[in-house]
Amino acid sequence: MPPSTPDLCDQHPDRIQVVTGLQWQSYGGRAAFAGPIETVKCFEDNSRIKEVLATPGNGRVLVVDGGGSLRHALIGDMIAAGARDHDWAGIIINGACRDVEVLAGIDFGVFALGCVPIKSVRRGEGQLGVPIQFGGVRFLPGHHVHADANGVIVADQNLDT
């Protein structure tokens, strides 16, 4: 279990950024998770999300800027189970997920703004590995993110050490 976000904020106040203005819901079976960041920017199209989560995660966390849309889910149970099997720690979505009853039983972190039963559209759109920004924080591939019931924080390096 990673250190709590409040403890990390207390220990490293000058090294962290706190995502604010968004109300996260935890949907996955892993309520707290942390790891190096990979990013996807997309809008209601989960093509890039599905592609990247099917590759080795090595404990990384996928941070998705879905534009805050709650009209289409960007991840469901099948993609989450595959991500867990590929050693991803979790996903943080500025958008929606679905299959929440099943997600709760998968050992994979899922933070999203909400849920909706409508699946993603697939047009092959989206950008992988680009800087993204939401909640007052800039997410860069390779930086580290920590997520738990208290919130989401970002640092330019691993704070667990």
Q: What is the pLDDT of residues 100-119, one digit of tens each?
A: 999 999 999 999 999 999 99
Q: Where are the domains of the chain?
A: 14-155
Topology of domain 14-155 in CATH is: Glucose Oxidase; domain 1 (3.50.30)
What predicted TM-score, i.e. pTM, was given to this entire model? 0.96
Phi, psi of 52 (to 5 degrees): -70, -35
Q: What is the pLDDT of residues 133-161, one digit of tens each?
A: 999 999 999 999 999 999 999 999 998 75
